[in-house]
Copies of this chain bind each other. A is one copy, B any other.
Amino acid sequence: MSYNTFGHMFRISTWGESHGPAIGCVVDGCPPGISIEAEEIQAHLDKRKPGGSRFVTQRRESDTVEILSGVFPDANGRQVTTGTPISLLIRNEDQRSKDYGEIKDKFRPGHADFTYIAKYGIRDYRGGGRSSARETAMRVAGGAIARKVLGSAIKIRGALVQIGPHKIDRSRWDWASIDTNPFFCPDAQMAGTWTSYLDQIRKAGSSIGAIVEVVAEGVPAGLGAPIYGKLDQDLASAMMSINAVKAVEIGAGMQAAELTGEENADEIRTSKDGQPQFLSNHAGGILGGISTGQPIVCRFAIKPTSSILTPRRTIDVSGNETEIVTKGRHDPCVGIRAVPVGEAMMALVLADHLIRHRGQVGNPTRQE
């Protein structure tokens, strides 16, 4: 796995900076014959697009994706993948001319400014350059293709389950609510609370963290591998690679520390149609690194953006002590737009493991 490539057999490589001419990705290892239209990719991109509500960055980007290679009309005239690399491109549009003088020379606390310089000695400081969340648009685009590889039997959905101190009530979980509020919140009542809470954060020029949960249903048992090919390992890698993520949980997650063996072990019965049926899902759908056929449940915590209006103490590139205030168009809660990104990473991991499994063992046959 290289610096800008994710996946083993089904791979995505991304490139591009926030304020360069374009961003893009190359999807390699895609099976041939899978129908894909730019519109399908666009639909997922639109969920992540900036400017969707007052709770996300007001940057104006149409984020229109262009497919440059790897597709061709099949005998029926449907555009399908050919098995060769699929190149996707999005031109950057809203590169608002601004004075970068301040962030050019000062390190924003909590941001990658300092570490990029420490590593490379140079960085494209405009809009965060490569460390901008804009890169995640290409993950969403690649994830849209991964979903087509997985097929409609596998359903991947994400939700925001906590903003700051406000957690959803899981007894009110309703997937249908997700699209009825600007937060991907499955608890309609909590969405109301969040609205007023985030307005307050936004007006204060502050920001706040959040927790995202991504669930994949319909995944056959057998995906993943023991030891260093674990499905949960690759999910942890995938989610932790998203900007601002500080923790990843599978199933019971950190709470597993407080469970006894009796509580934790998901007992098994046989369903009417003779399939294994688990009575609980503390495992989050993964045992020994391999999928059980239960829903795969993954959560991750997103830190608040460091772009805030309150001055913070920092240093400049010459080591002089100073202060910084980040003006500009930023997300009071970057966790919101991380929901479609988390879904995309789940899709990328599953598509990769499906192909790896089919290679070593053949098509997965057992399913819960």
In the bound complex, do residue A3 and residue B276 qualify as a contact, i.e. CB atoms below 8 Å apart?
no
Residues on B with C-beta less than 8 A from A209 are 256-260, 264
In the bound complex, do residue A69 and residue B258 qualify as a contact, i.e. CB atoms below 8 Å apart?
no
Residues on B with C-beta less than 8 A from A229 are 1-4
CA distance A163 to B256 in the complex (A): 10
Tell me if A240 counts as interface (CB < 8 A to partner B). yes
| Interface residue tally on A, bucketed by range | 35 or more
In the bound complex, do residue A270 and residue B321 qualify as a contact, i.e. CB atoms below 8 Å apart?
yes
Residues on B with C-beta less than 8 A from A247 are 247-250, 253-254, 256
Tell me if A74 counts as interface (CB < 8 A to partner B). yes
In the bound complex, do residue B112 and residue A289 qualify as a contact, i.e. CB atoms below 8 Å apart?
yes
Residues on B with C-beta less than 8 A from A74 are 122
In the bound complex, do residue A109 and residue B315 qualify as a contact, i.e. CB atoms below 8 Å apart?
no
CA distance A86 to B14 in the complex (A): 10
In the bound complex, do residue B118 and residue A313 qualify as a contact, i.e. CB atoms below 8 Å apart?
no
**Chain B nearest Cβ from A336, distance in angstroms:** 13
In the bound complex, do residue A250 and residue B241 qualify as a contact, i.e. CB atoms below 8 Å apart?
no
In the bound complex, do residue A14 and residue B250 qualify as a contact, i.e. CB atoms below 8 Å apart?
no
In the bound complex, do residue A82 and residue B120 qualify as a contact, i.e. CB atoms below 8 Å apart?
yes
Can you list, as one digit per residue, whether each of A109-129 has a CB less than 8 Å from chain B (1) or not (0)? 111101110111111100001
In the bound complex, do residue B266 and residue A69 qualify as a contact, i.e. CB atoms below 8 Å apart?
no
In the bound complex, do residue B233 and residue A237 qualify as a contact, i.e. CB atoms below 8 Å apart?
yes
A 270-284 contacts with B by CB, 8 A: 270, 274, 276, 279, 282-284
CA distance A221 to B315 in the complex (A): 16
Residues on B with C-beta less than 8 A from A329 are none
Segment at the interface with B among A29-37, A40-48, A56-64, A187-195: A29-37
